[in-house]
Structures are given as C-alpha cells and as structure tokens.
Structure 1
C-alpha cells in the first residue's frame, strides 16, 4: 500500500511539474547582423605588414609591425549604417599614408557569419550606388563581446598575393 502511495505521489509531482511549464518564446526580433557589429568608430591597436612571398618561401622576417611608423597610431576608421542597420559610408581619419581609399561607401559579402567557415569580405566603394569597388578587405576577427575587430588588405599581382596588411582595431566609445 505504501508503494502505491509513493507511485501516486511521484505521478502527481510529475504532472504538476509538466503542467506548470509555461514557456514564453517572446516576440520576434530581427537577428543581429554583422553590420551592427562592424558599425561604429574603431581605433588601430596594431598594423602588421606581411610579405606573403617571404612567408610562402619560409624566409624570415616575413612580417613587420607598422603600428608606430608613419603616424599609424593615429589611424581611426568609422563605419556608418542607416536606421535599418544597412551600410552607408566609411571614413579613415588620422594623418596616415592611405593603404586603401580613405573614404567612401561599404558593404559586406554577407550580413551574417558563414556557417561553412568561409570568410566575410568588406567591400569598399567610391560611389553611394556601390558600383565602383575600390578595395576588398577580409574580415578576420568579428567584433563581439570583446569589441575587437581584425581585417586584412591584400595586394596581389596576377592573382597572387605579394603583401598584406593586418589591421587590429578596438571599438572607440
């Protein structure tokens, strides 16, 4: 008899536990895009030049830190978006030699991070219609909780990269 009572009690506890589980999924919100993460002001923390030919041939040194040369410590870039988080313009400030067009318009190759591991590109344009591409940056590290971002600019000849520049940036509030 005691055993029946314990089973009955266990059954009732499970019934109430399941019956009281009211899951509230909330209301729909738009997913967070990479545009929201890239948007804003960024200050350079490190700029590295990589000799891709030397690196491929295992010749040292293949990398050079340019952060303290040519006023690059003053390098800042601002990526702007509109009220719908769509990319608009960008601008580089600081008295630095330009490695890419210092102002223009931008877009990403994808609004979301790839699930296949393919990298995201930041396309730079000279016109608001985004028909005249001036440069292409590879987004290496996506901004997130750490508020850090990295992108790479590669220069190539005949389809082969010979030098690249890796920009490491922190968000400026």
Structure 2
C-alpha cells in the first residue's frame, strides 16, 4: 500500500512540476528573405567563361579564367534594398567590360530559396517600374556564413546556350 501511495505521490508531484511550465517560444520575427542575404556590395573572387558548345561536345579546354583580364579584378556589384528589404537598384562598380547592363533595377523570381531544384533568378531591369527586363543572373550559390555568392549569366542563340559567365563573389565588409 505504501508503494502505491508513493508512486501516486511521485506521479502527482511530476504532473505539478511539469504541468505548470509554460514554454517561452519567443516573439515572432519575419523570416530572412534572399533579398536580405544578397543585399550589399560584392567583390569578384573569380570569373570563369564557359564555352557551352565545347562543353556539350566534350572539347577541351571549355573554360577560361577571366579574373585577371580586362580589369575584372576591379569588378564589384552592389544590390540595394529599401528599409523593408525590398529590392531597389543595382550598380556594377569598376572599369570593366559590360557583360550585362551596368546599372538599373532588380528583383528576384522568389523571395525565399526554393525547396525544389529550381534556381533563384536575379532579374535586371532598365526601368524602375520593372517592365523592361534586360538580363537574368542565376544565383547558383546562396551566401551563408562564408558570405560568398555565385552568379551565372548564360548567353543563348535560338534558345541554345553558347557561352556562360560564372562569377564567384565575396561580400565587402
């Protein structure tokens, strides 16, 4: 009888201790968007030109490092956002040949990283209303703790890729 009373008393005490505990889940905060992650100024670490036709036909060499040629070592790009972390303008800094429009407006095809295998596309516009699309940059590596990002621009003829440029960037601090 004493063993049963002791078990009941222990169970009752456990229910009182753990039943009165209200977990603190903290305050709600907005999720971090891709806009927040890529906003800021980025410097070039590496620029590779890929001959897509040679690559498909297994012809070597099909890649060339352009990082130290044509002043690309000076390449920087800045993606600006407003106070609500919505995209505004972008600008390419440095005296570099234009592989895409050097300034304008931008947005993304998705606010968050997709859960499927689809890529995030940075769309570049010439007008603030974002009606005149000029180019698309594919975000192939989203910055994380290392603050590095990779972008790719693909040039096509008749829908077939013939050359692409891969930018490996690091955030300016």
- Which range, TM-score by smaller chain? over 0.9
Return the offset for 1:98.
0.9
Name the SS for the 2:127 alignment partner.
Answer: coil
The CA deviation string for residues 50-109 of structure 1, in whole angstroms up to 9 with x for no partner, is: 111111111111111111111111100000001111100000011111100111110000
Q: Report the TM-score, using the length of structure 1 for normalisation.
A: 0.93
Q: Flag as ranges the 4+ runs of structure 1 deviating above 4 A.
A: none
Corresponding residue for residue 58 of structure 1 = 58
**Separation (CA, whole Å) in 2 of partners of 1:100 and 1:31:** 31
Corresponding residue for residue 8 of structure 2 = 8
Corresponding residue for residue 88 of structure 2 = 88
After TM superposition, the structure 1 = structure 2 runs for residues 69-148 of structure 1, keeping only pairs within 5 Å, are: 69-148=69-148
Name the SS for the 1:35 alignment partner.
Answer: helix
**Separation (CA, whole Å) in 2 of partners of 1:119 and 1:9:** 59
The CA deviation string for residues 138-159 of structure 1, in whole angstroms up to 9 with x for no partner, is: 0101112211111100000000
**Separation (CA, whole Å) in 1 of partners of 2:5 and 2:171:** 63
Corresponding residue for residue 39 of structure 1 = 39
Corresponding residue for residue 25 of structure 1 = 25
Unaligned stretches of 5+ residues in structure 1: none
Unaligned stretches of 5+ residues in structure 2: none
**Separation (CA, whole Å) in 2 of partners of 1:2 and 1:88:** 74
Return the offset for 1:25.
2.3
Aligned residues: 173
**Separation (CA, whole Å) in 1 of partners of 2:53 and 2:2:** 81
Q: Which moved more, 1:7-16 or 1:55-64?
A: 7-16
Rate the CA distance shift 1:19–1:53 in 2: closer, same or farther, 3 A: same
**Separation (CA, whole Å) in 1 of partners of 2:14 and 2:155:** 65
